[in-house]
Amino acid sequence: MLLQLRFYGDPVLRKKTEPVESITDEIRQIAKDLIETMYEEEGVGLAAPQVGISKRLFAIDTSTSRKEGKVLVNPEIVSRQGQVVMEEGCLSFPGIYGKIERSEKIRLRGKTVDGEDFDQELDGLSARAVLHELDHLEGVLFVDHMTPSQKIVLQSKLKKLAKQTKKQLGKL
Ligand code: ZN
């Protein structure tokens, strides 16, 4: 089932998520829907709060085949190395992009939605996407990492988006 994306200005994006206690049928369904929605929206990652679910899991697929989507539950960074700047966007911020500095390499631990342990070193786009999605689980958004001058440039776009989101939420 496709889920409704939440946009900047929606309070759910600022909430710290709750850990997943156990992988139930409900969690498996959310995982399936996250992957489906991520592909539909052509994202490389999608965190649960971005569809209004304040739980600690996200979908990710940085492959070119778009067939390697997985969902990680209660993910945690074990270590990080280096710093690198890359352009980023976010499905919750349509049309807004910016260069963001993040760790270059990370080691990530968690569980897959099948209950298997996940422990991998990631770099490049995978590390970048995971760090971006992890931020979502803490209520942190990519614009929070921008420099003051980047924020000034985007200020009016961001205000407009937040206003539009609040208007839509008011109609629900
Ligand atoms: Zn995002």
Question: Does residue 172 carry a pLDDT above 80?
Answer: no
Residue 168 Cα to ligand 1 midpoint, Å, equals: 19
Question: Which pLDDT score, from 0 to 100, does residue 171 have?
Answer: 80
Residue 136 Cα to ligand 1 midpoint, Å, equals: 7
Lowest-confidence pick of 64-68, 73-77, 79-83, 96-100: 64-68
Q: Which two tokens stand for residue 28?
A: 């498996």
Q: Could you give phi then psi for residue 84, rounded to 5 degrees? A: -150, 145
Question: Does residue 166 carry a pLDDT above 80?
Answer: yes
Instruction: Quote the mean pLDDT of the chain.
Output: 97
Closest CA to 90 of 30, 148, 146: 146
Query: Among residues 21, 41, 87, 133, which one is catalytic?
Result: 133
- Chain CA centroid to CA 62, Å: 13
Residue 6: CB atoms within 10 A of its CB come to 20
Share of the chain above pLDDT 70, in %: 99
| Mean pLDDT, rounded, for 144-170 | 96
Question: Which pLDDT score, from 0 to 100, does residue 55 have?
Answer: 98
What residues sit around ligand 1, an ion, with C-beta below 5 angstroms?
A: 90
What's the CA gap between 107 and 81, in Å, rounded?
A: 9
CB 13 within 8 A of CB 50: yes
What's the CA gap between 166 and 123, in Å, rounded?
A: 36
Beta bridge partners of 95: none
| Mean pLDDT, rounded, for 149-165 | 97
Residue 170 Cα to ligand 1 midpoint, Å, equals: 23
Residue 88 Cα to ligand 1 midpoint, Å, equals: 9
Exposure class string for 65-81: b at 16+ Cβ within 10 A, else e: eeeebebbbbbebeeee
Check if 18 is active-site.
no
> How much is the pTM?
0.96
Residue 25 Cα to ligand 1 midpoint, Å, equals: 25
Q: What is the pLDDT of residues 96-117, one digit of tens each?
A: 999 999 999 999 999 999 999 9
